[in-house]
C-alpha cells in the first residue's frame, strides 16, 4: 500500500511539471531577430552626389564622400542594438536613431577625429539630442568620452538602447565607452541615418528589443539630488539681434543703450521654463534653431530670496553671449564662442565651469535677469549657487 501511495502522490507532480514546461515553452519569448541591411544601393535612401557603394578591403561598404545623410529604407528603430563598422576619414562619423520623419528630432551618437587620436581625450565620442535639425552637442558636455580608435582600419561600434538609456561600445566590446542615463531626443521610435564626410560604413546590423538587461527607466543623474541648481526660470520671446550689437551698455551707468537691444519692460510677456534633468535651461526647445546667418536674443529671469543681505557665488554656464543683472544692476557680461581664443572651458560648451560670479543679494527677493544671444547650435544656460543656507530659489 505504501508503494501505491507513493506512485499516486508522485504522478500529479510529474504531470504538473510537464504542464508547466509546456506553458513555459508556449510563453517563452522568441530570440531577438537580427536584421542585416546589405550595403547595396537598393536598400538605402541617399544623395548620389554624397554617397557611393564600394568594395572596401573586400567588404561591401558605403562611402560617404560628403556630410550628407544615408538612410536605410523602411527601418524604424525603438529599442535594441545598432551595430556597424566604420573607417574614419576627415569627418565625424555617426548614427542618428529614433529620428522623426522630417529628421528634425532624434538622438545622435558620433566619433570625432581631428587627425590624431588618444583614449584619454574625452572629445573622441559624443552623444547629443537633435532639436529642430540642430545638434545639442554644445549643451551636452557631460555626454562625451574617450576611446581607442583604429586609424587606419575598421572601428566596431555597438549601441545598446533601452527606453531612456544607452550604452555605447567602441572597439572594446567588454566595457561601454560611453553611458547615457537619460536620452534627450524625445521620441520613442523613429528612423536611422548615418552621417560623416569621407567615412566608410559596413556590416550594419540591428537587433530589435535585444537590450542586454539595460533598464528602460532613466538612470542616475547627479544633478537630480542637488538643490543648488536654479531650475525655475521665465523666458521672453526671442527677437532678431543683428551682428555687431552688444547686450550690455558700454558702461554700467549708461542706461540709454538698454532699450536699443530690447531690454524687457512691463509689456514683455514671459513663459515659464524648467531645467532639464542635467540642470540645463535649453531654450532651443522653445525657439528652435537659429539660422546660421542669423543671431537672436532672449531674456531669462528668476528670483532668489535671501534671509539677509549677503554675497553668494554663482557658477554659470552659457552659450553663446550673456549679460547678467541683479536687481536691475549690470553685473557681468561675457562671450563663449567655440573655436575662438576666448572660448570658455571646456571648449566653448555650456558647462557649470564656464564662469564664477559674485552675487550681491539684499534681504528679501532678488531678481536675476539674463540677456542671452545665440547664433551657433544649442542655446541655453546652467546655473548653480554655492550654498542654499539662508537662500530660497524659485520653484
> Can you list the domains of the chain with their CATH numbers?
35-208 (2.60.120.560), 222-393 (2.60.120)
Gap between the Cα atoms of 356 and 354, Å rounded: 7
**Cβ-based neighbour number of residue 37 at 10 Å:** 18
**Cβ-based neighbour number of residue 211 at 10 Å:** 20
Evaluate if residue 150 carries a pLDDT over 60. Answer: yes
Evaluate if residue 258 carries a pLDDT over 80. Answer: no
Count the helix, strand and coil residues of the chain and give each as a percent rounded to the nearest 5.
10, 40, 45
Minimum mean pLDDT range among 10-24, 53-67, 95-109, 161-175: 10-24
pLDDT tens for 277-312 read: 999 999 999 999 999 899 999 999 999 999 999 999
Q: Which helix (H) or strand (E) holds 259?
A: helix 257-260
Average pLDDT over residues 380-394: 97
Q: Which helix (H) or strand (E) holds 103?
A: none
Report whether 163 contacts 32 (CB < 8 A).
no
User: Which candidate, 82, 387, 127, 73, places its Cα nearest to that of 278?
Assistant: 127
Evaluate if residue 226 carries a pLDDT over 90. Answer: yes
Confidence (pLDDT) at 253: 52
Report whether 388 contacts 310 (CB < 8 A).
no
User: Which candidate, 55, 46, 339, places its Cα nearest to that of 195?
Assistant: 46
Q: Which helix (H) or strand (E) holds 15?
A: helix 2-27
Gap between the Cα atoms of 113 and 94, Å rounded: 11
Evaluate if residue 257 carries a pLDDT over 50. Answer: no
> Residues near 197 by Cβ (< 8 Å), separated by ≥ 6?
64, 65, 66, 67, 89, 90, 91
pLDDT bracket for residue 254 (50, 70, 90): low
Confidence (pLDDT) at 292: 86
What is the overall mean pLDDT for the chain? 89
> Residues near 226 by Cβ (< 8 Å), separated by ≥ 6?
279, 384
Report whether 89 contacts 149 (CB < 8 A).
no
Report whether 109 contacts 179 (CB < 8 A).
no
Report whether 98 contacts 189 (CB < 8 A).
yes
Evaluate if residue 321 carries a pLDDT over 50. Answer: yes
Amino acid at each position: 500500500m505504501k508503494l501505491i501511495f507513493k506512485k499516486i502522490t508522485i504522478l500529479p507532480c510529474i504531470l504538473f511539471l510537464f504542464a508547466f514546461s509546456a506553458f513555459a515553452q508556449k510563453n517563452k519569448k522568441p530570440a531577438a531577430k537580427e536584421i542585416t541591411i546589405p550595403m547595396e544601393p537598393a536598400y538605402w535612401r541617399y544623395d548620389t552626389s554624397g554617397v557611393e557603394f564600394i568594395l572596401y578591403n573586400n567588404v561591401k561598404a558605403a562611402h560617404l564622400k560628403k556630410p550628407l545623410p544615408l538612410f536605410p529604407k523602411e527601418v524604424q528603430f525603438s529599442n535594441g542594438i545598432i551595430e556597424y563598422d566604420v573607417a574614419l576619414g576627415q569627418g565625424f562619423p555617426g548614427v542618428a536613431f529614433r529620428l522623426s520623419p522630417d529628421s528634425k528630432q532624434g538622438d545622435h551618437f558620433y566619433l570625432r577625429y581631428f587627425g590624431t587620436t588618444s583614449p584619454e581625450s574625452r572629445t573622441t565620442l559624443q552623444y547629443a539630442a537633435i532639436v529642430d535639425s540642430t545638434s545639442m552637442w554644445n549643451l551636452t558636455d557631460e555626454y562625451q568620452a574617450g576611446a581607442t580608435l583604429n586609424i587606419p582600419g575598421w572601428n566596431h561600434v555597438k549601441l545598446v538602447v533601452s527606453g531612456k538609456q544607452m550604452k555605447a561600445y567602441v572597439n572594446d566590446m567588454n566595457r561601454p565607452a560611453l553611458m547615457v542615463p537619460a536620452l534627450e531626443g524625445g521620441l520613442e521610435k523613429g528612423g536611422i541615418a548615418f552621417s560623416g564626410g569621407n567615412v566608410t560604413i559596413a556590416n550594419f546590423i540591428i537587433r530589435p528589443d535585444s537590450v542586454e538587461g539595460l533598464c528602460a527607466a532613466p538612470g542616475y543623474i547627479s544633478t537630480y539630488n542637488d538643490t543648488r541648481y536654479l531650475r525655475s526660470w521665465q523666458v521672453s520671446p526671442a527677437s532678431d539681434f543683428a551682428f555687431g550689437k552688444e547686450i550690455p551698455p558700454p558702461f554700467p551707468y549708461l542706461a540709454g543703450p538698454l532699450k536699443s537691444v530690447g531690454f524687457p519692460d512691463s509689456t514683455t510677456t514671459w513663459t515659464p521654463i524648467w531645467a532639464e534633468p542635467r540642470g540645463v535651461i535649453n531654450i532651443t526647445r522653445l525657439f528652435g534653431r537659429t539660422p546660421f546667418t542669423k543671431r537672436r536674443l532672449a531674456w531669462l529671469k528668476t528670483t532668489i530670496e535671501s534671509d539677509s543681505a549677503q554675497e553668494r557665488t554663482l557658477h554659470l554656464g552659457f552659450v553663446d553671449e550673456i549679460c547678467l543683472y541683479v536687481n536691475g544692476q549690470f553685473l557681468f557680461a561675457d562671450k563663449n564662442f567655440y573655436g575662438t581664443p576666448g572660448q570658455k572651458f571646456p571648449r566653448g560648451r555650456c558647462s557649470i565651469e564656464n564662469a564664477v560670479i559674485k552675487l550681491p543679494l539684499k534681504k528679501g527677493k532678488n531678481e536675476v535677469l539674463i540677456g542671452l544671444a545665440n547664433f551657433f547650435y544649442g542655446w541655453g544656460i546652467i546655473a548653480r549657487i554655492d550654498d542654499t543656507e539662508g537662500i530660497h530659489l524659485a520653484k
